[in-house]
Structure 1
Amino acid sequence: MHHRWIALAAGCLSLMAGPASAEFTGGVLRIGVLNDQSGIYADMAGPGSVVAAKIAVEQFGGKIGNVPIEIVTGDHQNKPDVGLNIARQWLDVGGVDMIADIPNSSIALALSGLVKEKNKVAVITTSNSNRLTGDSCSPNHVHWTLDNYSLAKSTGTEVVKSGGTSWFFITADYAFGHDMEREAGQIVKDAGGTVVGSVRHPLSTSDLSSFLVQAQGSGAKVIGLANAGSDFTNAMKQAAEFGITQSGQRIAGLAVYLTDVRSLGLSSGQGIYLSEPFYWDLNDDTRAFAKAFGERHGGAMPTSFQAGVYSGVLHYLKAVAAVGGDADGRAIVAKMKELPTDDLAFGKGYVRVDGRKIHPMYLFRVKAPGQSKGTWDLYEKKGETPGDQAFKPLNGGGCSLVPQN
């Protein structure tokens, strides 16, 4: 077994100084993984997030003292009412102490209010909204993995630094796209670049050719795609047909993940720049986590979001062990902010007072088909933004937990 796995597991065991089960409601610590199990977010999170949570429990030793740790799963189907009904039932009668994952920002924002009301915990690993550490921050949740600002910051800054100084945005015409274009545009300007124009397309547009022609005609060195999912993959397939990257323009994806690139394929995806905080082949530790994950999940490699579930659940367990019980959600989240983080997926880091988990963000370029040595060999690393620069400054988000000078 990988030496760091053993060392981390030994560190977890040292935290478990045998608390009495009386300090644990129902004599069990129960974690709910709430996500989309079969829809658009199922590949990036879905069943793989449950696998990741189980790996964290296994690495921790499976129990705290004599108290067993259980994982339960719920499918919110990307419907806020369904997600909140599951969460309420879990917290009120299901004995669930912490809810993890929660792709879909509207569900995550609503859930943060519910766990605050019930004094439970949410470890939000698969939502991008900066509001979770801004005006909707709370003493009962933490925000792991990434957010829209960190994606825009890493990609915008690093691409400008490497010569991509003029940008044209193709933007999905709804709140996410507008926010992403605004964040990225400001970051490009702050890095010394210029924004020469933008165009907005309706959500779920199959034909993006006219928008790509405008981007091509703008003469911008970089086309920034402020869209996601099928809009992103359609844009990339059509960009490949137009030979855009071959003609010298770069394409930067502002919300692109491993499973998007895998489904798109390298012939259409090659050359695109994107940012993530985790890649399975980054170092020995990430490869050790990926190996354990792949063995349990049909050979698939973990996404950043699945790695975030592993990392967030593991840190939660350390905090519960240190507090000595699962009843007081605020005390556990306070302990999560106090204890340094350390795991195979992200290495060493910490959780800020606003609930933001801090770690580096990496700029990757998608490999050409001839460079790839296997199904999941998709990225080459091109840059790195340190954790203290990758996320929105603490005083910039409007979180009420941040002390005012």
Structure 2
Amino acid sequence: MKTLVMGALCAACGTSAAYAQSSVTLYGVLDVGLTALSNQSGHGNVVMDTGVLAPNLFGLKGAEDLGGGVKAVFQLEGQFEMGTGTLDGNLFGRQSWVGIESDRWGTLTVGNQYDYMFTSLSWNRLGPEIYFVSLTNLRQGPFDAFGKPLAPSGDFDFDRTAGAQRMSNSIRYQAPVIDGLTFGGMYGFGNQAGTFGNQNAYSFGVDYMQSTFSLDAAYTLVKYLGIDNGNGGIRNFGFGGRIAVMQGWADVLYTNTRNTFSGATISAFEVGGTYPLMRATTLAFAYEFMKGNDALENNRAHQVNLTLDYALSKRSDVYISAAYQHASGDGNTATAWILDAAGPSTSGNQTILRVGMRHIF
């Protein structure tokens, strides 16, 4: 019986090889450097930290050609700390999904996936610029009272453009690109007995991309058990784009984030760009303005980000980056806090200076 079963399996494998081709790719990103902070809990500090210009990732992605322009696709991706070698979260906590991709009908995937605040407003909007966007460019600030669950602080990546949280137990549809236009939607199941809408989530995005510009918009609502017993959540929407300017790019983004239970709301506006200074050297810059409403004591922050990147090869680069944030508003809570800083400032100002190296495989 064992011989018959093994023979049947081998025959099936041989038949599959005749009709379909499969590919599996192992990939990863390594980023490490030294960061100097002007004020961390009242003191200056110099730390070795990792995953700043890009998160430290390892992953597998693959596809099997099923014929007729249809493929089975999957991706498994995890994140880790370079300094210690430990996992950052679960083994494949960054992405884990499987689905069907059709040239004609689009792509349907199921699993733990990025929502459209990241894929439309960061990945698609920035396009070639995203290679030079540091984690310190993304959102944090004097809004610790905002109350976003499952985050190191109440406002960590509040508009989800850093992709720090994914949408678990989700099903996602992405339409094919037609003349540069694509759209998609996804739904995250709450998996709660007796109610369909408790702790659920949904997200939508639309992108129009051409060789010299991009226009992008997204909407996401995620409900959390810690907000009104799973009936409330964090709602985000935003829109922006990029345009080619001389040899570089200019980009703009607006996001609006609201706690649907408390009414706390943060508006964020960003303008930036990238420009090649000389061969293998690129300058990335951005200015951000973030403002909370009355529920957040009208706290606000201005932030400037600069990154100078030098490519050693197609896969390796070294860089210097700096970020400065000035926060104001309520005297007790308007303390500066740049995303990825080890801790908040004790004043309204915080500066980060970093030297690092990145390798992609």
Please classify the TM superposition score into its range, dividing by the shorter chain length: under 0.3
Higher normalized strand content (fraction of residues): 2
Q: Which has the higher contact order (CA 8 A, sep 6+)?
A: 1
Higher normalized helix content (fraction of residues): 1
Structure 1 or 2, whichever has the larger Rg, is 2
Q: TM-score, normalised by structure 2?
A: 0.25
